[in-house]
Amino acid sequence: MQIWNEIQISPFETIKAPMVGRDFEANTWLNSLYETTDKSKKIEDFFQDYNGYYVIELAKEIEGVPVYQSPVADANVFRGEFLRNCEDLIGENLVSEAWISKLSHEALDYGNRLMHYADNLAIKHNLEYLKSTRIPPECDEESIDAKLHIIFSLSKWLVFYGKNGHGYEADF
């Protein structure tokens, strides 16, 4: 696992998230964060604590930063639990497949299959605009609009990472 981690490209690099200690915009972000603290820590020590931290909120490749995030993982991790609510639209098999770890080509394939379902549903229900909408629609979470937005979001996330050579490890 150590060798695997050493030879791979970080997903933070793939999404072009600026890094504290290296990128001006990340340092500016951290300086703003420091200004909101009680300043009990020297700014040098505060910066040292964050040195090497990727600021996902400032990532340039937002397709790799999901709207539906895990509350316990990094902000670039899609929370698959949201997909469970979509089983009535795409079926149990496609939903269950989200909990199987995938290599990059498998993630890309899965993302493309989900996108195919989402595209067909969007056309059928005149909801094509959801494909290009990042912010979830203001509607009941049980509505087809909300569920379709989740499927589009996951599809785009999977395709982005799959095309960029990343798979994912399913976490339960």
Same domain? 78 vs 142: yes
pLDDT of residue 4: 67
Same domain? 109 vs 122: yes
Same domain? 50 vs 25: yes
Same domain? 47 vs 22: yes
Task: Give yes or no for a contact between 168 and 101, defined as CB atoms under 8 angstroms apart.
Answer: yes
Whether residue 86 lies inside any domain: the answer is yes
With b meaning 16 or more CB within 10 Å and e meaning fewer, what string describes 49-73? ebeebbbbebbeeebbbbbbbbeee
Q: How far apart (Å, rounded) are the C-alpha atoms in residues 129 and 149?
A: 10
The number of folded domains in the chain is 2
Provide the Cα torsion 147, 152, 158, 163; round to 10°: 170
Last residue of a domain, one of 58, 82, 104: 58
Q: State the burial class of residue 128 (Cβ atoms within 10 Å of its Cβ: 0-12, 13-18, 19+).
A: middle
Same domain? 73 vs 146: yes
Same domain? 115 vs 131: yes
Residues 6+ away with beta carbon under 8 Å from 88: 147
Domain that holds residue 33: 2-58
Q: How far apart (Å, rounded) are the C-alpha atoms in residues 133 and 112?
A: 18
Tell me the pTM. 0.89
Same domain? 76 vs 117: yes
Whether residue 110 lies inside any domain: the answer is yes
Which regions of the chain are under pLDDT 70? 4, 172
For 122-170, the pLDDT digits (tens) are 999 999 999 999 999 999 999 999 999 999 999 999 999 999 999 999 9
Whether residue 34 lies inside any domain: the answer is yes
pLDDT of residue 116: 97
Place of tokens 């040098």: 44
pLDDT of residue 7: 78
